[in-house]
Structure 1
Amino acid sequence: MAETSASVEERAGMKTAQELADLEKLSATYEPDVNGPLVGQLQSSKILEAEYAGADPVYVRKTAALSPKYSNYRTIRGDGNCGWRALAFGYFELLLRTGDEKFIQNEMDRLKSLCSWMNEVGMSEYLYEDFVEETIELLKTISQSPAIDNPYDDTPVVEAFNRDDASNAIITHLKLLVSAHLRLHPDAYEAFIETSIEDYRSSQIEPYGVQIDHLGVKALVDVLFIPAGLVVEISYLDRSESDEVNVHKFEDESAPPKVTPAEDEAQKTLRMLYRPGHYDLIYKNGDLAPARIPVSYSATAAATTEGGVRVSMMLGTEYTRNPFCSSVFSSQVFTGGGGFDLCEEGYPGLLRGSTGSGLGSTDAMNKGKIDDAYTKLFKHSHYNTSHYQNVNFQPEMWSPQD
């Protein structure tokens, strides 16, 4: 018996519906890694784009729009504590990134003083003192040499948060602080929950392994970030019709609005990516690079290295580690002393001479002394395409000699 056109259309419709259901399942039931490191190393955000390449078109569109703005991301183990751990890690990472020993010391003193909250709500000191000690120890570590001398080297924080004892103790300390804060300031939060503050604290905040919800994030931001002048920004990867992720910013709403320089914003903003039931960390272009350092031509033009090479030949009017070159920066490179331009148009990893002769024509190059300076400066900068912070870096490009 021949199949009618109506039955063909019905069968085709069922197939399409099933395909959409499969796509939705692939996108919405994201399964975080429960066996990976507690806090992962930095990765290219293009990995996220590849991860969703076969998913629902909405997710494909949104992840494709992520990588041009967010260069890197960092995974957090999906063990039920990912939101707490992401916020805690990000807090320490931001403090280290300031490179300001006094600022970190002030935060250390502030967190010590907040023990009075826990005492006030009846928590015994012997129950929380070990957790507080781990927090203070990590603050001490990042406020002193060698960590404070290399504020963009996240190794001390990554290592601490990948030790179960330290990571879990810091999270527990923050949970107890938030619990005490909620009990002392119920009026600010109870309108947003269907139960009492006491029930909410005991069921959603204090238990270990219970994922943080929106209200918990707000309370932790109020306790930890806003008093320090820090901001938390969460990008929600959902099925809304927009072409980009939806971004919600937690900041001090009582402060007057102001224009914040991009470098200052990068130093003070923690960015998280939320997928159903899970948080990871993401980083905007420039978050991982320090602010530009002005270089005075008059002070450096005559200075020379051991090999007789002028400093002005090695630096332009400004030096930046930001891998995304601007026309402003490129136009300011000196051309009078035989320098080189760190920004080759279309290829930020390539060095070129700023004059016809350029760096390669100097006598010092022939003596072999400039080679060493050039090699060390270039090899260990992200302008080297084999450096892990270069935007064009691929893991397979690395070798032990790099």
Structure 2
Amino acid sequence: MATGGDLDGEDQTRPTWDSGGAAAGTASGSANDGINSATTAIERPTDEEILAQQNQIRAEQAQKSEYVGFEEPMSALKEEYINGNQNFVQKIGKLEASYGTFRRTRGDGNCFFRGFIFAYLENLLLTHDLPECSRFMSVVQAWKTRLVEGGFQELVFEDAMDVLLDQVKEITKPYTNYMHERLLVNMRDDTVSNLVVMLLRLITSCEVQRREDFFFPFIMGMYDEPPATVELFCQRHVEPMGEESDHLHIVAITEALQIPVRVVYLDSSGMPTGGNGSGLDATMHDFVPDSCVPGTQPRVHLLYRPGHYDILYPKGGRCVLLPCLSDM
């Protein structure tokens, strides 16, 4: 589960307000000591200022990458850790047997939702799965009523819903390479991409609140001092753009839209494999909605690294999957 900052990391250089040591000046005497102490007290930043600077650094670094990148070989991912985390190198090596490529997403706190919806729409496009397109559009349209009943104003989400439905309508047309390129362009566009992510966040929030009895134990176990109510949790940790996603978010959105997802965890978890205990297997978890028929395989594959999600592509092409049964 996402417990840290985005994968892009933070700038480790010393902030300008940090002198790097004791206050300047070594002259003895209580007067000088008093001046130095006063200067240090005045210049020392507050916790809020430190956090604001860290967030600014992260935001600036995130802007350097596209919302959704190009497909890359798994070897490019392995190269990131070749001189560092050897457990990750071994895990990626084992993943290469099942996954041929991956696609990066921007580490801006919205990476799960953005990667999830792009991978799903891309799968619809490449499989040209018209029945699934129809099912998905019906499910999304049904959420209009649920969102209003949940207290969200239609004016807030109607444009975002239209944008998402328009993407699916384009997919139902005969496939061309241009359509694939257009999907990527759209999901890199500030307006289109962020509207879709915003809608997914609202649907996730509504799903969590309408199933409060189910999700509240998750929330209680996530924090030492959890929010007092499910509604407050959603207002703080689900609805705002840039808030990182956790296990709870994945369960909620996969159930809400009835889309099965597999998350591969590239972290410290996993059990040694092989007779000599060498090597580690990455942990995998399938989030399959209750409405899906037995045997349903994941339609979306995501790679989790601490605080970040990217898209994975299984080897062997995109298979036709069993549908989920709508209960909306």
So what's the TM-score if we normalise by structure 1? 0.58
How far, CA to CA, are the matches of 2:102 and 2:286 in structure 1? 18
1:273–1:281: 8 Å Cα contact kept in structure 2? Answer: yes
Q: Does 1:38 align with 2:67?
A: yes
- Structure 2 matches for 1:206-355, cutoff 5 A? 206-224=239-257, 226=258, 230-240=259-269, 241-242=271-272, 243-253=280-290, 257-258=294-295, 265=297, 268-288=298-318
Q: 1:132 to 1:62 in 2, by over 3 A?
A: same
2:161–2:199: 8 Å Cα contact kept in structure 1? Answer: yes
Deviation at 1:169, TM superposition (A): 0.3
Amino acid at match of 1:188: F
1:49–1:67: 8 Å Cα contact kept in structure 2? Answer: no
2:180 aligns with: 154
Deviation at 1:290, TM superposition (A): 8.1
Q: 1:102 to 1:201 in 2, by over 3 A?
A: same
Deviation at 1:106, TM superposition (A): 3.0
How far, CA to CA, are the matches of 2:92 and 2:316 in structure 1? 19
1:97–1:151: 8 Å Cα contact kept in structure 2? Answer: no
1:303-329: CA deviation from partner (whole Å, max 9, x where unpaired): xxxxxxxxxxxxxxxxxxxxxxxxxxx
Amino acid at match of 1:283: Y
Amino acid at match of 1:208: M
How far, CA to CA, are the matches of 2:74 and 2:91 in structure 1? 12
1:141–1:156: 8 Å Cα contact kept in structure 2? Answer: no
Secondary structure in structure 1 of the residue aligned to 2:120:
helix
1:70–1:282: 8 Å Cα contact kept in structure 2? Answer: yes
Q: 1:256 to 1:168 in 2, by over 3 A?
A: closer
1:332-364: CA deviation from partner (whole Å, max 9, x where unpaired): xxxxxxxxxxxxxxxxxxxxxxxxxxxxxxxxx
- Structure 2 matches for 1:80-95, cutoff 5 A? 80-95=109-124
How far, CA to CA, are the matches of 2:167 and 2:290 in structure 1? 30
Deviation at 1:156, TM superposition (A): 2.8
Q: 1:174 to 1:289 in 2, by over 3 A?
A: closer
Secondary structure in structure 2 of the residue aligned to 1:271:
strand
- Which of the residues 146, 165, 170 maps onto 2:196? 170
Secondary structure in structure 1 of the residue aligned to 2:102:
strand
Q: Which runs of 5+ in 1 are unaligned?
A: 1-27, 292-402
Q: 1:116 to 1:57 in 2, by over 3 A?
A: same
- Which of the residues 216, 238, 241 maps onto 1:190? 216
2:208–2:252: 8 Å Cα contact kept in structure 1? Answer: yes
2:82 aligns with: 53
2:52 aligns with: none
How far, CA to CA, are the matches of 1:166 and 1:254 in structure 2? 29
So what's the TM-score if we normalise by structure 2? 0.70
How far, CA to CA, are the matches of 1:253 and 1:109 in structure 2? 18
1:8 aligns with: none
1:186-216: CA deviation from partner (whole Å, max 9, x where unpaired): 1121111123211111011111111111101
Q: What is the total number of aligned residue pairs between the two structures?
A: 250
1:38-63: CA deviation from partner (whole Å, max 9, x where unpaired): 10111111111111111122122112
How far, CA to CA, are the matches of 1:99 and 1:193 in structure 2? 38
Deviation at 1:102, TM superposition (A): 4.0
Secondary structure in structure 2 of the residue aligned to 1:114:
helix
Amino acid at match of 1:205: V
Deviation at 1:256, TM superposition (A): 6.3
Secondary structure in structure 2 of the residue aligned to 1:154:
helix
1:63 aligns with: 92
- Which of the residues 156, 161, 178 maps onto 1:132? 161
Deviation at 1:109, TM superposition (A): 2.5
2:163–2:192: 8 Å Cα contact kept in structure 1? Answer: yes
2:127–2:319: 8 Å Cα contact kept in structure 1? Answer: no
1:98–1:151: 8 Å Cα contact kept in structure 2? Answer: no
2:128 aligns with: 99
Amino acid at match of 2:8: E
What is the RMSD computed on CA atoms of the aligned residues? Answer: 2.5
1:96–1:152: 8 Å Cα contact kept in structure 2? Answer: no
How far, CA to CA, are the matches of 1:95 and 1:54 in structure 2? 38
Deviation at 1:287, TM superposition (A): 3.2
2:68–2:105: 8 Å Cα contact kept in structure 1? Answer: yes
How far, CA to CA, are the matches of 1:216 and 1:152 in structure 2? 32
Q: Does 1:205 align with 2:201?
A: no
Deviation at 1:30, TM superposition (A): 4.3
Deviation at 1:114, TM superposition (A): 1.1
Deviation at 1:72, TM superposition (A): 0.3
Secondary structure in structure 1 of the residue aligned to 2:304:
strand
Secondary structure in structure 2 of the residue aligned to 1:36:
coil
Amino acid at match of 1:270: V
Secondary structure in structure 2 of the residue aligned to 1:274:
strand
1:52–1:63: 8 Å Cα contact kept in structure 2? Answer: no
How far, CA to CA, are the matches of 1:57 and 1:288 in structure 2? 30
Amino acid at match of 2:156: L
Deviation at 1:100, TM superposition (A): 2.8
How far, CA to CA, are the matches of 1:160 and 1:29 in structure 2? 23
1:271–1:283: 8 Å Cα contact kept in structure 2? Answer: yes
How far, CA to CA, are the matches of 1:253 and 1:176 in structure 2? 21
